[in-house]
Amino acid sequence: MIVQMTKQEFDSLNDEALFHACFKPLILDYKHRMAQENSTMVKVHFYKELTSGQKALFVFHIYYDHVIESEAEFYWWSAYFIAQPKIWSAIKTGLQYFGEGNMFHLLEETESVIKRHNGPSSLEKFVVKREDLQNNKELSESIKPLYSNFNEIANLTIKRISDFIRFNHEDFIKIID
């Protein structure tokens, strides 16, 4: 699942393109496996096959792709991942792996707000709705600045991850001639 590209191609990619290029083969392989058998064991086996860097990239990219869409999506998907402690922990650990303290602290703050507003501790207790923001002014006022901050620092996070990839490309990319 290591991406293969020429040195010229590698050097020509901007931060966002590199971020996506290293993720694409991972998500394609994951979706292919899940289409064959959607089970927890398939997910665990897939994840175990990744390098440490790929694990960190995969979990953050999955989170990013879902929450960037809107304030309601930021709230709902954050709550959904928080309700899965292993996944939520992996996302935060991945940010630490990349040295991304700003986004890590934002996720910690997001978790605190969601838990303060009776966020779920497991999927069995998951009753969060996107409409919760419309129905709970206090919750909405707490989520709004978090989503705004997410949008402000997401590009810096992508840059930091891409810089990490550039200096540790062997975990993500095989340079071919």
The per-residue pLDDT for range 155-171, each reduced to its tens digit, is: 999 999 999 999 999 99
How far apart are the two ends of the chain, measured CA to CA in Å?
Answer: 18
pTM: 0.93
The per-residue pLDDT for range 78-137, each reduced to its tens digit, is: 999 999 999 999 999 999 999 999 999 999 999 999 999 988 889 998 999 999 999 999
The per-residue pLDDT for range 2-28, each reduced to its tens digit, is: 899 999 999 999 999 999 999 999 999
Correct CATH for 3-176 of 3.40.430.10, 1.10.10.10, 1.20.20.10, 1.20.1420.60: 1.20.1420.60
Instruction: Provide mean pLDDT across the span 139-164.
Output: 97
Domain ranges in the chain are 3-176
The whole-chain average pLDDT of the chain stands at: 95
Q: Give the phi and the psi of residue 38 in degrees, each rounded to 5.
A: -85, 95
Closest Cα partner for 73 from 156, 135, 133, 139? Answer: 133
CB 130 within 8 A of CB 140: no
Residue 1 reports pLDDT greater than 80: no
| Alpha carbons 105 and 140: distance in angstroms, whole number | 19
What is the pLDDT at residue 96?
97
